[in-house]
Amino acid sequence: MSRSNNTNVSDFILMGLTDFEEIRLVLFALFLLIYLVTLLGNTGMILIIRLDLQLHTSMYFFLSHLSFLDLSYSTVITPKTLENLLTSTKNISFRGCFTQMYFFVFLGATECFLLSSMAYDRYVAICNPLRYPVIMSVTLCRSLITASYVIGFIDSFANVLCMNTLRFCDSNIIHHFFCDIHPILALSCTDTRDTEIMIFIFAGSTLVVSLITISVSYASILSTILKINSTSGKQKAFSTCASHLLGVTIFYGTMIFTYLKSSKSYSLGKDQVASVFYTIVIPMLNPLIYSLRNKEVKNALIRVMQEREHKA
């Protein structure tokens, strides 16, 4: 990502969340704690799934990739945010800023389609349980994962390519804590209408296609659950997808609120709070949502710990 010849800005300044030193120290301690929990939770989830043979199923295969994405997602944003909360120098190079934005969009778009794949997996498990092992084969699971990463790459590449055509002449102050799309668009001294349209098309199509897949899957799941006669059967069927549904609601709610609008409607306070939530908080919540509500993960953790004790 080379810097445009028409751009006079060599670096950007990330203003962060607040100018008050006391609040910055509190936020640093809070974000550091959240980041450590994120690292521990997602790394632990990946290791448990890898080490316990009973979790070598399609659902946990997708879940391990979700943990990897959340771990990467948080690492792209949080360390730089923590650094800026402690230092007075908040510069980020032009190349560094666009690299951060590239990986942010790449990981976000990939997660959208991964969540769609997980919804389809739950649909097959509940609506077609007898053929579940046949339909959700290793080949199909790997194909869905590969497709998610490829679509994420295309989305992010197109997004950054559009942004790289803009000129940045005067102001280099980003009123945000990371290199997000809308605050950078606001700095451009050229007309951003075409760029905004392209970004809206790519972001909108990513969200709409993945949301349609999830909605259709869960509509079919709900229809199947309502046909179950026993209350215990309904509860068991619903419990298999409740965690995923909660994760999807939180993730898509904040993404739609933040990105499916023009840069002129960007609100510094509201959008920064939403951004903190989906870049820092959600990566911590996902392993908690999927593990605390899941007896299989709890039992797997116990088995892994017991095996380690026996070997010791």
Q: For position 177, which CATH number holds?
A: 1.20.1070.10
Question: In this structure, is residue 234 part of a structural domain?
Answer: yes
Range(s) of the domain holding residue 24: 11-310
Question: In this structure, is residue 2 part of a structural domain?
Answer: no
Which tens digits make up the pLDDT trace of 59-105? 899 999 999 999 999 999 999 999 999 887 888 998 899 999 999 99
Question: In this structure, is residue 26 part of a structural domain?
Answer: yes
149: its two tokens:
């990463």
Q: How many CA atoms lie within 13 A of 136 on its CB side?
A: 25
What rounded mean pLDDT belongs to the chain?
Answer: 85
Residue 53 buriedness (CB in 10 A; 0-12 / 13-18 / 19+): exposed
Average pLDDT over residues 200-213: 89
Long-range residue pairs from 48-51, CB within 8 A, at least 24 positions apart, any chain: 48/297, 48/300, 48/301, 48/304, 49/300, 51/304, 51/307
Q: What is the pLDDT of residue 299?
A: 77
Average pLDDT over residues 293-305: 74
pTM attached to this predicted model: 0.87
Which tens digits make up the pLDDT trace of 152-187? 999 999 988 888 888 887 788 888 899 988 888 888
Question: In this structure, is residue 153 part of a structural domain?
Answer: yes
Question: In this structure, is residue 6 part of a structural domain?
Answer: no
Which tens digits make up the pLDDT trace of 233-282? 777 777 777 778 888 888 888 777 766 655 555 555 566 777 888 888 88
The β-bridge relationship of strands 11-14 and 91-93 is antiparallel
Question: In this structure, is residue 107 part of a structural domain?
Answer: yes
Question: In this structure, is residue 50 part of a structural domain?
Answer: yes
- Cα(261)–Cα(132) distance, integer angstroms: 39
Question: In this structure, is residue 157 part of a structural domain?
Answer: yes
Residue carrying structure tokens 């002449």: 169
- What's the total number of domains in the chain? 1
